Chain A
Amino acid sequence: MIAGISIYEILTVTSILFFIGVYGFLTRKNLISILMSIELILNASVINFVVINKYLYPDMLQGVIFSIFIIAVAAAETALAVAIIINLYRQIASVEVKDTEIMKY
């Protein structure tokens, strides 16, 4: 644990990060920006897993291992999303949300 820092301060920072991600998810109109906001949200939750593991259950490893799994799933999700965005750009020449009406492969 970090000397002199309580768990409350770290959880405050991660909550702020989470809500910045939610704000970006709701206000952005571009598919790639939305993807970036999702990354922010996922990262905030991963820090929560790690910090709670370290502060409350220091002998366990579950939090670390779950965060490794979350990072792996996030990487897979990003690869698929980028593939979908590039395919969409080929078909309708735009990645704005308002132009996206077809979702058929």
Chain B
Amino acid sequence: MERYIFYILAVLLIVSAIAAVSSKKMLRSVIYLLFTLCGIAGIYFLIDYNFLAAIQLTVYAGGIIVLIIFSVILVHHIEMELEVAKLSKKLLVGAACALGLGVFLATIYAHDFKVVENFNTTTTEQIGLKLLSYEAGGFILPFELISVLLLASMIGAIVIAKGKKLVKSEKSNVESIQKNNN
């Protein structure tokens, strides 16, 4: 049963990822990306990391996709067609990617993974204890660093996006007025 669910998820992931990078309409490709991210959350559910799946759904599907949709709507006309690359470039990049994929798969299948058969469930409590643990192997320092990083990026995003409104045209207006006065 789980096997078939995994195959369905894999097909969904790959098809919607291809659609996301090749769709000509901007908003549609964002929605295809949303399908991909939800499929990835499904894979996390399948391998029994419920907390990660919840994070994936809230942060990616709930946060990042909404942010990207906002920026698309602010920046584009909603049905705008994207400029596509030349066919020769597409073929070249596709061939390079296929070559890289071949190298990856050859390396993966040549390696002998020592798989441990297990059906453990990781609870959220274990993850939280590990994140806040002071002992050797604990993750308290990176956790605090991430919080500082998030604060810094929030302030940075506000400062950058606020900007000065149309500095150039105001300046040129002022210059033209001064010229007129002279």
CB within 8 Å of B: which residues of A?
1-13, 15-24, 26-30, 32-33, 35-37, 39-40, 43, 46-47, 50-51, 54-59, 61, 64-65, 67-69, 71-80, 82-87, 89-91, 95-96, 105
CA distance A86 to B146 in the complex (A): 25
CA distance A89 to B94 in the complex (A): 30
CA distance A58 to B2 in the complex (A): 19
CA distance A26 to B122 in the complex (A): 38
A6 to B68, Cβ gap below 8 A?
Answer: no
A26 to B93, Cβ gap below 8 A?
Answer: yes
Chain A residues positioned under 8 Å from B157 (CB to CB):
79-80, 82-83
CA distance A91 to B76 in the complex (A): 15
Q: Is the interface of B mostly helix, strand, loop or mixed?
A: helix
| Chain B count of residues within 8 A CB distance of the other chain | 86
CA distance A75 to B105 in the complex (A): 29
Tell me the B150-179 residues at the A interface (CB within 8 Å): 150, 153-154, 156-158, 160-161, 163, 165-166, 168
B127 to A76, Cβ gap below 8 A?
Answer: no
B153 to A35, Cβ gap below 8 A?
Answer: no
Chain B residues positioned under 8 Å from A4 (CB to CB):
2-3
Which residue of the partner chain, among A21, A29, A58, contacts B118 with CB atoms under 8 Å?
A58
Which residue of the partner chain, among B14, B30, B82, contacts A16 with CB atoms under 8 Å?
B14
Top 5 A-B pairs, shortest CB-CB distance: A24-B21, A76-B153, A83-B161, A83-B157, A4-B3
